């Protein structure tokens, strides 16, 4: 079984502008800026054996504001520059849709596709929707401080992206040691 680290795409894997207090998803490739500072952090997780999977709600697809081809080009960049293995998309403009975060459908699809062990997997995000999905799936959530954490339960809150990686390194090695001991 494989474990994954899931990342909320916008603001973590790509840099994001904020409009009216909410991060805006880029609609065109030329607006899509990879967060290059994340590359060495993601490489550390990769060396630990984690798959790296982005997740993103993209209601702009259903609204016709962005095409799947454009998204594919953006996600190719994440694959090439950050070694991201997969990016899951909810293309529906419907907050109750089973694959629209906070619903866990996108994560379940990834779990099926990659045969993931969710109990050993982690979610890193700066938004409450991911913590809620993680809780439903038994993944550990590591939340980066932001205005969008809400009141939903989450496992850990850390000040920044490097601290999130350090937390996962610590937890994963501690858990492994414990499992070997029993
Ligand atoms: Zn959906």
Q: How many domains, in total, are found in the chain?
A: 1
Confidence at residue 19, expressed as pLDDT on a 0 to 100 scale: 87
Confidence at residue 159, expressed as pLDDT on a 0 to 100 scale: 98
CA of 109 to the centre of ligand 1 (A): 11
What does DSSP assign to residue 25?
P
Residue 126 three-state SS: coil
CA of 140 to the centre of ligand 1 (A): 23
Give every CB contact of residue 146 below 8 A, 6+ residues apart in sequence: 11, 126, 127
Confidence at residue 182, expressed as pLDDT on a 0 to 100 scale: 58
CA of 110 to the centre of ligand 1 (A): 13
* 128's tokens: 């409450």
CA of 11 to the centre of ligand 1 (A): 20
8 A C-beta contact, residue 74 and residue 26 = yes
pLDDT tens, per residue, the chain with 182 residues? 799 999 999 999 999 988 888 888 999 999 999 999 999 999 999 999 999 999 999 999 999 999 999 999 999 999 999 999 999 999 999 999 999 999 999 999 999 999 999 999 999 999 999 999 999 999 999 999 999 999 888 999 999 999 999 999 999 988 777 767 65
In the block, tokens 């916008």 appear at 10
Which residues, listed in sequence order, are joined to residue 51 by a DSSP beta bridge?
A: 4
Domain that holds residue 112: 4-181
Backbone angles phi, psi at 176, to 5 degrees: -60, -40
**CATH number for the domain harbouring residue 109:** 3.40.50.1000
CA of 61 to the centre of ligand 1 (A): 10
Q: Which of 172, 65, 55, 173 is nearest to 125 (CA)?
A: 55
């Amino acid at each position: 079984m494989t474990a994954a680290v899931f990342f909320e795409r916008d603001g973590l894997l790509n840099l994001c502008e904020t409009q009216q207090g909410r991060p805006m998803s880029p609609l065109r490739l030329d607006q899509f800026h990879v967060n290059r500072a994340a590359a060495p952090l993601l490489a550390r997780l990769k060396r630990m054996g984690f798959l790296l999977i982005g997740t993103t709600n993209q209601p702009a697809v259903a609204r016709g504001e962005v095409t799947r081809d454009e998204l594919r080009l953006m996600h190719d960049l994440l694959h090439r520059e950050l070694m991201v293995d997969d990016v899951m998309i909810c293309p529906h403009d419907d907050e109750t849709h089973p694959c629209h975060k906070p619903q866990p459908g996108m994560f379940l699809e990834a779990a099926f596709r990659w045969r993931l062990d969710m109990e050993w997997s982690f979610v890193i995000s700066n938004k409450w929707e991911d913590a809620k999905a993680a809780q439903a799936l038994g993944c550990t959530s590591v939340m980066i401080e932001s205005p969008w954490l809400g009141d939903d339960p989450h496992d850990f809150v850390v000040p920044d992206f490097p601290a999130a990686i350090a937390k996962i390194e610590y937890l994963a090695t501690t858990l492994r040691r414990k499992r070997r001991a029993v």
